Amino acid sequence: DQFHLVYQPRFRAHDLAPVAAEALLRWNHPQLGAVSPAEFIPVFERTTLMDGVTAWVLEHAFSQLAQWRREGLSLTLSINLSARDVSRKGMADAFISALLCKGLSCSDVEIEITEGEWLRADSLPGEQLQQLAAAGVRVAIDDFGSGYSNFGYLTELPIHTIKLDKSMIDDLPTDRRAQLKVQAVISLAHGLGYNTVGEGAETPEQVALLQAYGCDEIQGFALSRPLSAADLAQQLEEAPYAQT
């Protein structure tokens, strides 16, 4: 009972309407207080604890999304999966079953995975991603441009969205090379038929440049910090134009 989820909205770039939200795990330890995900997630990923944590996140995230659906709120919910999660045999079946048991459809959710050497079409993770995508689950590449990049998987795997890493966004207003990189990635993604998200936008200048470059969606503190489920529902109710 020390875990809870918060939800960071993603906004459609051209009118800044909230259209999706990313579920984020938070841990309030009784002695240590708030523990950063940057500290505990890598530890979980190296142990069998990750399986239980992922199951907890899916159960609570799907339950919350089902509640929003009953309240008439429409948005895509994005959930992070680790390489360990996607490498587990039967994960896709379990994911889809848990989703359908809540009365949701596969098109209601998106999974975010981080690029890495494990990301190949001819592998168990690749097969699991193919199965999820075939059922209608959207697949997003998180933290794109932050490290390992092998563009081969961009045409081999059923990707829907590319999320440009915050490190690519930070210096946009002042660094011409950063501007060229971001424009090139957005152009490449659109050429391949992918949706693009600029994540980690913290200033109005970064938001304006991402809009000017044709980025599809924007996420970051400049537009909204992660919110509780109740606060996000209130934000969606106050922006009915986003429900189209």
Average pLDDT over residues 130-139: 96
Rounded Cα distance between 172 and 168, Å, is 7
State which amino acid sits at residue 18: P
Q: How would residue 240 be classed by pLDDT, with cut points 50, 70 and 90?
A: low
| pLDDT score for 117 | 63
pLDDT, residue 21, reads 97
What pLDDT, on the 0 to 100 scale, is given for residue 121? 76
Query: What does the pLDDT look like over 29-56, one tens digit per residue?
Result: 999 899 988 898 888 888 888 888 999 9
pLDDT digit string, tens, across residues 222-236: 999 999 999 999 888
